[in-house]
Amino acid sequence: MKPVSLLLVLLLLPSVPPTSARAADKLNLLLITVDDMSADSIGAFGCRLPDTTPHIDRLASQGLRFTRAHVQVGNCMPSRNVMWSGRYPHNNGVEGFYQVPNPGYPVLVDLVKQAGYFTAIRHKVSHSTPYHPYAWDLVLDTLPDGSRAHVKDPVSYGVSTARGIEAAKEAGKPFCLLINIADPHKPFHAEGGRGETIPDPHTPSRVFTPDEVPIPGFLFEDAVVSKELAHYYSSVRRADDGVGQILRVLDESGQADNTLVMFLSDHGMPLPFAKTQLYHHSTHTPLIFRWPDVIPAQSSDDRHMVSAVDFLPTLLDVLDIPHPQGLDGRSFAPLLRGGQQDGRDLVVKEYNENAGGSRDPMRAIQTQRMLYLFNPWSNGTRIMATATTGTPTYRRMAQLAQTDEQIAVRHALYQHRVVEELYDIQGDPDCLVNLIDAPEHQSELARLRKAMEDWMAKTNDPMLDVFRQRDDPAVREAYVQQKRNEADQRRKPQVKQKKKAVPARAKPRADAASLDVPAPVAAGRR
C-alpha cells in the first residue's frame, strides 16, 4: 500500500512546468546600454564633474569595473552589432546603418533563445541585430496602455524592465533583457537645434549649468561649448535616472541575486573628436558587471584590455552555451571570476561608414600606452562626414577657425585628418599631439603596424592590401572610391524597395533554425 499511497500523494501535488523548474536554476541576463556616453562622464570612471551618475556609480561599487574596455566602432549600429554578433564589422556585414537580411550567423538573441531564455528588448531595436524585425520574444517599446514609450523618459525604462521580467516569469523561462537607454544621445535635455535652451518635460533629477561643467581636452574653452556640455551632462544624469529605475525594478522583482547585470555605453559623446571617430574617447566604454556571489563588490580590472567583440563569447561562457563557429572575439569570462588572461594587451578598432552612407574607412590599434590610426580616406582635400558637424560646438569651432590659429589647426584635422596618426594615450588621452614622425617612437610604431597587418590577415580584412601599400596615394584612393561606389549602389535598391514593397520588408528573412546555432544545453549558473 505504501507505494500506492506515495503515488496518490505525488498525483495530488501541484504540477510545476519543467521550464519553470529550469528557469529557477538559470542565471538571468540584464544588459543595459546608454547611448553616446563617454566613459569619463561617469563618476566611477573619473568624471571631473561631481554627482553625474549616482546610480551607475552604485552599480560599479557592487561589482567589477573594466577600466581598459573599448567598443570597436564610434557610431551606434555598427558598434552594437559587434557586441551581439562577436564579429568585427567587415565580418558581420554591418559596416554602416543598413540591414543585412541574410547574415548567415547567429547573434545573442538566437543563441540564448535556443538555450531556453525569454528575450526582450527596449529601444535601439533595429540597431541591435543585422536585420529588422528580428525574432525577439517581446519588444518593449510600448507601455501597458498601448501608447509608445518616450525614449527620453527615465521612468518608462523601469516600466519596460518590469514588463520583460513578468513576461519571462509567465513563460516559465529565465530572461535575457537588452534595455537600451536613449540618453545622452542627441537631442540633449532642453537643447534646441541651434543650441538654445527649450522646455523639456523629461527633466533629469539634476540639471547642470554651463559654469560648472568641465571641458574635455579635445575641445576648447568657449561659452557655446560650455552651454552644450551642460545640456550633455544633464542628459548623462537623465540616463543615470533611467538606470536607477531599471535596477529598482530588478530589486523589487526578487531576481537581483540571480541576475548578471552588464552595463556599458555604445561609444563616446556626440561631439567633435569623439563620436564617429576611433580616438581614445571615441571607444573607451564604462564596462561594469555585477554578478552576485561570484564577483566581489568594489572590484576593478585595470590590467586587461577587453573589447565589444569579446562580449558575446564571454556571455555564452557564463551561461554554459556552446560558441557558434566564426566568432572573432575571445571570452574573458575567467576575468569575471577573478582570474587572469594572457594576450589582453591591445584592442583593434574599425570604422567604415556613417549614418548617411558616407564611406570614410579607418582602422586603429590601441595598447595600454599607444594608439595608432590608419585613415586611407584622407587625401588632403576630402572632408570626412561625421555625426557631429551639426552641433553648436562644431559650428563654433568652424567660426573661430577663421581667426584663431590653434583652433584652425584642430578644425583642419577634424575635416581632413592625415593618413597615419600615433598618440601616447597615457600622457595625451585627448590625442592632441601626433607622434607619427617622432624618432623616439619609431620602434613602437613599427610594432603596431605589424600587429595591425597581422590582425587584418587573420580576420580577412579587405583593407589588408591597401594597408600594405599605405604609402601609395593611388592605391588608397582607388580603395576608397571603390567602397564609396559600393555604398552608393547598395543604397539605390533600398530606396526602390521602400516605395514598392514595405510589407515584404516587415517579414524576417531568417530564423535561428537556419543559422549556425548550437543545440540547446542546460545553462546552469556558475
Chain segment 134-168, per-residue pLDDT in tens: 999 999 999 999 999 999 999 999 999 999 999 99
User: Which cell numbers in the block locate residue 200?
Assistant: 523639456
Segment among 166-170, 353-357, 453-457 with least mean pLDDT: 353-357
Chain segment 75-117, per-residue pLDDT in tens: 999 999 999 999 999 999 999 999 999 999 999 999 999 999 9
What does the pLDDT read at residue 25? 81
Domains defined for the chain, CATH in brackets: 26-343 (3.40.720.10), 351-504 (no CATH)
Q: Check whether 46 has a pLDDT greater than 90.
A: yes
Chain segment 169-207, per-residue pLDDT in tens: 999 999 999 999 999 999 999 999 899 999 999 999 999
Chain segment 389-425, per-residue pLDDT in tens: 999 999 999 999 999 999 999 999 999 999 999 999 9
What does the pLDDT read at residue 497? 47
Q: What is the rounded distance in angstroms from the CA atom of residue 424 to the CA atom of residue 412?
A: 21
- pLDDT band with cut points at 50, 70 and 90 for residue 526: very low
Q: What is the DSSP letter of 391?
A: S
User: Which cell numbers in the block locate residue 354?
Assistant: 556613417
Q: Check whether 500 has a pLDDT greater than 80.
A: no
Average pLDDT, the chain: 91
Closest CA to 112 of 164, 175, 24, 163: 175
- pTM equals 0.91
Q: What is the rounded distance in angstroms from the CA atom of residue 495 to the CA atom of residue 483?
A: 19
User: How does strand 259-265 pair with strand 28-34?
Assistant: parallel
User: How does strand 287-290 pair with strand 64-66?
Assistant: antiparallel
* C-alpha of 458 from chain center: 23
